[in-house]
Amino acid sequence: MANGPGYLKVQGVDIVDPVGKKVILKGAATGGHLNMENFITGYPGHEHEMRLALLEVLGQEKYDFFFDKFLDYFFTDADAKLFASLGLNAIRIPINHRHFMDDEKPFEIKQDGFKLVDRVVELCAAQGIYTILDMHTFPGGQNQGWHSDSGLHRALFWENWDLQERGIKLWVEIAKHYKDNTWIAGYNPMNEPADPVHHRLQSWYARVEPAIRAVDPHHILWLDGNTYSMDFTAFKTVLPNCVYAIHDYSTMGFPAGTPYTGSSEQKDTLRKQYERKVEFMREHKVPIWNGEFGPVYASPGETDYNATNQQRYDLLGEQLSIYKQDQICWSIWLYKDIGFQGMVYANPDSAYMKLLKPFLAKKKRLGLDKWGRDDQHVRHIYDPLVEHLREEIPEVSQKRRYPQHWGLDGHVHRVVRELLVSELLTYEFASYFEGKSFEELDELAASFKLENCLKRDGLNKILQEDAGLSGS
């Protein structure tokens, strides 16, 4: 491993190194590696459901073999070198808490989780890349989305003190393990919290921060806002040596959104969206981190996909120009996937993509995944249900359902499509792996090796150009 650079720290609105030089971290999240997500690797629903279904189909030995290979191949020395070659200097590592703890033994920390994270941290450090450790899931779910891997439509984490204590216990053990590693730029204690009553998140931050500091007084904490890291209105005070994080996705970068044309009105919308989210940081004069953003890209075979992707590159470029003005740190979503957002993505001719091609087409037709969803084939099924509920449920009651910005239709789709239908189709997904030999499973996992993937050159060029402007 390369020699450690010394701890980064917060100094006013900046992040600085041990000699006081400003550091601007620019990079991406590894994505569906240590926290898998449905649209990233192709399964429906939630990671823990998918893993249980594959365990049933493969048996323990083949199950362990496949996931060991997948985790090895997904991020290697070659990936870290590619990342560094683009001038990017930080990787956010989303982590599923289940790598460290089981519900059956809730306060026992599994040491295998550290081995998985250590490997990525060390590969990045060898290339001079900082890492930020992001706890992407929590027992009971810290938000209502698929990516908290709860399998629920409620965030039970906020309703249960014991679940919150488990989260704190986990972070204390992680901080003990990494307290001396200065290639770690800090800890992102919770991804996209969504506390319906808004004040419990601040209470949890006020408990987890001193618990971490008691064993690791040096590392920065990167704290997400409430409601999927978009809302700081209930935040009243700042904690020491902390950076506050927004997530700044634009609907113009998604299939259901208005296409980005670069009009003055659209640029103004992007600026106002950003300014609303960072008002708290400006008021309290603390650093800003955009921990997630980025469009979804069209695939070959889709109508005018080149033109669509150029629009989304233009959108990304405009967002980066906003962040450049404030010289903030940022981390796009994401590094590697099966073709939606990744800087790198699995080749359609790879074993994994060819095996799952019929299922992925079905999943797309059914509009199962919220991320990048296209409803054209199922709108006639769901619209009548949503309209029926809209007519029967008083509007005031509809608006009580948090998060309110989802609207009634968003909540219906979460429960019906993303929970019920997706859970049932998990078994069909798993059936594609039935009877596979060890050699075949190795080939499937190897589809995610960098040498077998394609690079999204248009995206990487934009990121490289922006990283070159940072001087960091």
Catalytic residue among 37, 192, 209, 418: 192
Residue 465 is among the residues annotated as catalytic for this protein: no
Cβ neighbors of 377 (< 8 A, separation 6 or more) are 365, 366, 367
Q: Which residue among 292, 392, 423, 443 is the active-site one?
A: 292
Positive/negative CA dihedral, 310, 312, 314, 316: negative
Q: What is the DSSP letter of 435?
A: T
φ/ψ of residue 119, rounded to 5? -60, -45
Q: How far apart are CA 411 and CA 195, in angstroms?
A: 16
Q: How many CA atoms lie within 13 A of 308 on its CB side?
A: 19
| CA nearest to 412, candidates 455, 375, 447 | 375
Residue with tokens 């996992």: 445
Our measurement of the distance from residue 152's CA atom to the centroid of its chain's CA atoms, rounded to an integer in Å, reads 18
Per residue, the 3-state secondary structure of 233-245, as one string, reads CCCCCCCCCEEEE
Please compute Rg for the chain using Cα positions. 21
Contacts by residues 105-110 (CB-CB < 8 Å, ≥ 24 positions apart): 106/139, 106/162, 106/166, 107/166, 107/169, 109/169, 109/170, 109/173
Nearest to 10 by CA among 200, 288, 204, 212: 288
Q: Is there a contact between 344 and 350 (Cβ–Cβ < 8 Å)?
A: no
Which residue spans within 308-372 are E strands per DSSP?
329-332, 336-337, 344-346
Are 352 and 448 a contacting pair, CB within 8 Å? yes
- Clarify whether 265 is annotated catalytic: no
User: What residues are annotated to the active site?
Assistant: 192, 292
